[in-house]
Chain A
Amino acid sequence: MSLTAPSAAKIGHPNIGREPLWVRVVVIGVVIAFVTLMLVLPLIAVFAQALSKGLSPFVEAIGQPDSLSAIGLTLITAAIAVPFNAAFGVIAAWAIAKHRFVGKSLLVSLIDVPFSISPVVAGLAYILVFGLQGWAGSWLIDHDIKIIFAVPGIVLATIFVTFPFVARQLIPLMQAQGVDEEEAAASLGASALKTFWRVTAPNIRWGLLYGVLLCNARAMGEFGAVSVVSGHIRGLTDTMPLHVEILYNEYDFVGAFAVAALLCLLAIVTLILKAALEAFQPEVAANAV
């Protein structure tokens, strides 16, 4: 129960790498080569391409109105989808981790469904509900509401693909924490809301932040689902990843990679914050995959 207990992660097993030295060297060498080729090189290539003509074309490319509006739309989308999924994650984790009921594991599997569905299928699903021929299509036309090929569709598709992130982060964390503290709060007369805000919330804040971090990275970077529902209208329904595609297909490599470089920075910041959280609050990293 102590937070200060050293985690197994930090202790490691320094003294039992008893394979012969040459084996160790080969394994480490292969790992570093593989990681460099598959992960580091693509990262470097993005910045190299973006800056291949120098800094000012890079800055200029990002300053384009279409790029700026893509950045704006990406920020708006994340600003809606991430809090929505964070709230859902907390509510779902409260029901699932703090209570016993029949069908719990089925519910957990259903929450995970968006992770096992192709983003393109997700986009298709929303078109079938909200598109012109969709279930809600004629109602939406009558009320002059546009969802598909418009911003709401992009937000909905993003909510779908990032749906499980916070919930699956919080459920195991809250299960491990048990219900003792909540029961203690209840027996001391605390109302439901006070129990949550004063007892549960402080215990889950780092796990929540971790989930939000991963959720945000995916929300800002989602391509497949958004691509299907967006309609690719420049300056209107174009998010940053979609804008990368448009510029790339127009052979504007500096422009494409300039926007891509911004998204790389997002990924790098995410990884740094994630590593810091894992070092500082080891128990939050229980469910990285």
Chain B
Amino acid sequence: MVALAPHAGSPPRHPSAARRPLFRRRSAVPGFALTLGTTILILSLVVLIPVSAVVIRAAGMTPEAFAAAAFSRRALHAYYLSFGASFLAAMVNGVFGALTAWALVRYSFPGKALVNAIVDLPFALPTAVAGVSLAILYAPTGWVGGFLAPFGIKVAYNPTGVLIALIFIGLPFVVRTLEPVLRDLPIDVEEAAATLGAGRFDTIRRVIVPAILPAWLTGFALAFARAVGEYGSVIFIAGNMPFKSEIAPLLIAQELEQFDSAAASAIAVVMLGVAFLMLLLINGLQAWARRKT
């Protein structure tokens, strides 16, 4: 029944089966050359060539012109604000994001499913919408701003407003990188610590924190990297005053509005450099996290 009928198909008799093909077959899964070639082609056209255009444009400037654009006092202040506010926002998210992840993994409470779903809102909500909404909330006449105004606290149109916007867009990163790690923490390690006489807070400090530290730092770095480049949610609430509340991406946009693409490229190269360093850092952190788990 399952006979090897001699007529039922024969191996391909064309000579190419016998000779080694020009590109040696590497895998039984087909389509490698085609898909890899297409991937590299599209990646080059969409990402690599345009991004290199920025670097090449900046490289065509004289060192003096480059420095004048990239390291003007106004630009330096913009970096200071962008990096500083991003760092602070990542810190805030590091704390509240960790608490949120902890509560989501370890506790059950009413509305947990809702909290879990809405944590991703900053991924789904257009940044411009977040921007106008936060601006109107934190304006001196807004629900939150009006509440804070009597105490002399000004948020909107102020560096603090930048911070609020960056907290908003970075919030999911720490939660979502910590969550799976917390969930996979073996309970028996904690139980072992407890049976060895460690108090609950000792256990958290000496067993849990070291285990989740790489993931926490990764989440922090991701939130920071995202915040540094953020534009849409910030510009509505920041007030955008040079030397006060002007972020680096906005400065690029403004140079472009002046049709000074060289100056814009110079600032962009500084931003790209920082993004590249962050990428290296994040890769390193993730490699560290993998070794730990």
Map CB proximity to A onto B248-287 as digits: 1 under 8 Å, 0 otherwise: 1110110010000100110010011001101100010000
Instruction: List which B218-241 residues lie within 8 A (CB) of chain A.
Output: 219, 222, 225-226, 228-232, 236
Q: Is the CB of A16 within 8 A of B125?
A: no
Residue of B107, B225, B256 with highest tally of chain A CB at under 10 A: B107
Q: Is the interface of B mostly helix, strand, loop or mixed?
A: helix
Residue of B nearest to A224 (CB): B231
Known interface pairs A41-B143, A289-B222; A118-B120 also in contact (CB < 8 Å): no
Residue of B nearest to A88 (CB): B42
Check if A120 is an interface residue, CB within 8 A of chain B. Answer: yes
Among B35, B168, B278, point to the contact of A38 (Cβ < 8 A): B168
Q: Is the CB of A16 within 8 A of B106?
A: yes
Q: Is the CB of B103 within 8 A of A127?
A: no
Instruction: List which A1-34 residues lie within 8 A (CB) of chain B.
Output: 8-9, 12-14, 16-20, 24, 27-28, 30-32, 34
Q: Is the CB of B39 within 8 A of A91?
A: yes
**Complex CA–CA separation, A59 to B199 (angstroms):** 60
Q: Which of A42-50, A61-69, A138-146, A201-209 is near enough to bind chain B? A: A42-50
Contacts of B226 in A (CB 8 A): 115
Contacts of B129 in A (CB 8 A): 46, 221, 241, 244, 260, 263-264, 267
Q: How far is the CB of B166 from chain A (nearest CB, A)?
A: 11
Residue of A9, A128, A222, A248 with highest tally of chain B CB at under 10 A: A128
Contacts of B200 in A (CB 8 A): 18-20
Contacts of A45 in B (CB 8 A): 133, 136-137, 142-143
**Complex CA–CA separation, A174 to B137 (angstroms):** 43
Known interface pairs A113-B47, A119-B231, A124-B54; A95-B32 also in contact (CB < 8 Å): yes
Among B100, B116, B190, B256, point to the contact of A124 (Cβ < 8 A): B256
**Interface band, chain A:** 35 or more
Contacts of A35 in B (CB 8 A): 100, 115, 118-119
Q: How far is the CB of A78 from chain B (nearest CB, A)?
A: 12
Map CB proximity to A onto B107-120 as digits: 1 under 8 Å, 0 otherwise: 11101010111111
Q: Is the CB of B133 within 8 A of A260?
A: yes
Contacts of A271 in B (CB 8 A): 117-118, 120-121, 124
Give me 25 A-to-B residue pairs in the complex whose CB atoms sit less than 8 angstroms apart, sorted by A's number: A12-B105, A16-B106, A17-B107, A28-B103, A42-B130, A42-B168, A43-B121, A46-B129, A46-B133, A95-B39, A116-B278, A118-B229, A118-B230, A118-B231, A128-B50, A159-B46, A221-B126, A221-B128, A228-B253, A241-B129, A260-B129, A266-B126, A271-B118, A272-B117, A289-B177
